[in-house]
A = this chain, B = another copy of it.
Amino acid sequence: MSDVIRMIEQLGRAARSAARELAVCASASKNRALAAAAGRVRASGPEILKANRTDIDAAGERGISGALLDRLRLDEARLAAIAAGLEQVAALPDPVGRELARWQRPNGLDIARVAVPIGVIGVIYESRPNVTADAAALCLKAGNAVILRGGSEAVHSNRAIHAAIVAGLDQAGIDRGAVQMVPDQDRALVGALLGAHESVDVIVPRGGRSLVERVQRDARVPVFAHLDGNNHLYWHRSADPAMAIDVIVNAKLRRPGICGALETLLIDSECLEHLPALVDVLAARGCELRGDLRACAVDARLAAAQHDDWATEYLDAILAIRTVDGLDAALAHIAEFGSGHTDGVLAEEPALVETFLQRVDSAIVLHNASTQFADGGEFGFGAEIGIATGRLHARGPVGLEQLTTFNYRVRGSGQIRA
């Protein structure tokens, strides 16, 4: 057995053992650990920023700049946000022990379905050091042990934040195995973690497309993730045009780089007359527009879209616009090109809206609302570890509830089976 596999197994055993205790850990203890970790993040601000400086310098030497460097950088405000994030998770209701269902059988057996932690969660992430704290907090609050593997460019920052979390665990008397960090940056450890189906119950990748793609391809462990957010809005003639334009502009431009951003507008041929008013707003805000022939014919400011545009998640201020004849054509386009993330309809006809909501098979389907609401915080989950487009267990924003599973507790009085 190779060294990396042995190392992951060791982490896995420690995690499994900690998870057993965490599963029955009082909410107060978990919350105390999170609060203490927040305090320690604040108290050791200078050390964390110094560690971050080391990472930033090394990144600079390797020629990393721009957005990548910005993701890596910590400052007082970001540290404060990390500490506040830990406290926010402490303040959320404990998802463990919820009675999800309970019923009695004719023979008197009382059956309860109760939320319990998943067990051990592996989190593989890239350059944002805040993920160290955010992921650890969510996993811990849901009673799971977590094995963290951050990007090598952030290794000193991550270790410093991890140390603060471990201090929090210590203060609450929680086993350090609850939040472990893969101890070195050997890339083979990622492979070993992805294959560790005995040690790890689920893997959550946090990062760019290539990371998620690699994790989904190589993992022998279930994965909560989304690869693309190629999201659509279908604009039906029954929608109020001003409302539709507001929502489309927000869905595309509020933050074009997030996975919930709108990528393709499906405009019904019966509302093409409103297209110029939309283009006025989008073009004024610097959005590039690519339309099919019919849309281009209505508004010359649109460039001609290519077939690839329908399949592209721009994550940028570019919108593809396709004309469709009616709901069925919109549904067919989404079924062909959608990525199952977030798709919506702009309309006022109730029957049409309900048909859309029933027939679009995406994690989130919306009516008259911006696709940018695809977010655990906006859903009221308090925090999220990511958004999943897989079909099993977790779908859509993955908050505390989806970081639990359940078992059945059957209470009897001596029942035997006939």
Binding site for B on A (CB under 8 A): 20, 23-24, 97, 103, 105, 109, 111, 116, 118-119, 201-202, 222, 240, 243, 246-247, 249-251, 254, 335, 344, 353, 357-359, 361-370, 372-373, 378-380, 391-393, 395-396, 405-417
CB distance from A9 to the nearest CB of B (A): 17
Give chain A's interface secondary structure class: mixed
Contact call B407/A363, Cβ cutoff below 8 A = yes
CB distance from A66 to the nearest CB of B (A): 25
Contact call B254/A391, Cβ cutoff below 8 A = no
Beyond the given pairs A222-B392, A393-B393, 20 more chain A to chain B contacts, judged by CB atoms under 8 angstroms and listed by A's residue number, are A20-B335, A23-B358, A23-B361, A24-B359, A97-B358, A105-B380, A116-B361, A240-B414, A247-B416, A353-B411, A363-B408, A364-B407, A367-B409, A367-B411, A369-B414, A370-B415, A379-B408, A391-B405, A392-B392, A395-B407
Q: Name the B residues within 8 Å of A247 (CB-CB).
A: 414-416
CB distance from A407 to the nearest CB of B (A): 6
CB distance from A177 to the nearest CB of B (A): 15
Bound together, the chains give a CA A411 to CA B366 distance in angstroms of 6
Known: A250-B417, A358-B24, A361-B20. A392 touches B405 (CB 8 A): yes
Known: A254-B416, A369-B412, A373-B415. A407 touches B361 (CB 8 A): yes
Q: Name the B residues within 8 Å of A23 (CB-CB).
A: 358-359, 361
Most interface-central of A23, A250, A411 (chain B CB within 10 A): A411
Contact call A412/B335, Cβ cutoff below 8 A = no
CB distance from A389 to the nearest CB of B (A): 10
Bound together, the chains give a CA A231 to CA B382 distance in angstroms of 39
Bound together, the chains give a CA A374 to CA B382 distance in angstroms of 36
Contact call B201/A415, Cβ cutoff below 8 A = no
Known: A111-B379, A370-B417, A409-B365. A202 touches B392 (CB 8 A): yes
Contact call B410/A405, Cβ cutoff below 8 A = no
Q: Name the B residues within 8 Å of A357 (CB-CB).
A: 409, 411
Q: Name the B residues within 8 Å of A119 (CB-CB).
A: 361, 391
Bound together, the chains give a CA A363 to CA B171 distance in angstroms of 33
Bound together, the chains give a CA A417 to CA B261 distance in angstroms of 11
Give the residue of B365, B378, B416 whose beta carbon is less than 8 angstroms from that of A417: B378
Q: Name the B residues within 8 Å of A412 (CB-CB).
A: 366-369, 373
Contact call B407/A373, Cβ cutoff below 8 A = no
Q: Which 10 A-B pairs have the closest CB atoms?
A: A369-B412, A250-B416, A243-B414, A393-B393, A392-B393, A372-B417, A368-B412, A366-B410, A369-B415, A367-B411
Contact call B405/A395, Cβ cutoff below 8 A = yes
Q: Name the B residues within 8 Å of A373 (CB-CB).
A: 109, 410, 412, 415, 417
Bound together, the chains give a CA A393 to CA B404 distance in angstroms of 10
Residue in chain B with minimal CB distance to A111: B379
CB distance from A15 to the nearest CB of B (A): 14
Give the residue of B109, B369, B406 whose beta carbon is less than 8 angstroms from that of A109: B369
CB distance from A190 to the nearest CB of B (A): 18
Known: A202-B392, A254-B416, A370-B415. A365 touches B118 (CB 8 A): no
Q: Name the B residues within 8 Å of A361 (CB-CB).
A: 20, 23, 116, 119, 407
CB distance from A70 to the nearest CB of B (A): 22
Give the residue of B109, B368, B396 whose beta carbon is less than 8 angstroms from that of A415: B368
Q: Name the B residues within 8 Å of A372 (CB-CB).
A: 416-417
Q: Name the B residues within 8 Å of A405 (CB-CB).
A: 391-392, 395
Contact call B395/A406, Cβ cutoff below 8 A = yes
Residue in chain B with minimal CB distance to A380: B105
Known: A361-B407, A369-B410, A412-B369. A201 touches B24 (CB 8 A): no
Bound together, the chains give a CA A396 to CA B410 distance in angstroms of 12
Q: Name the B residues within 8 Å of A396 (CB-CB).
A: 407-408
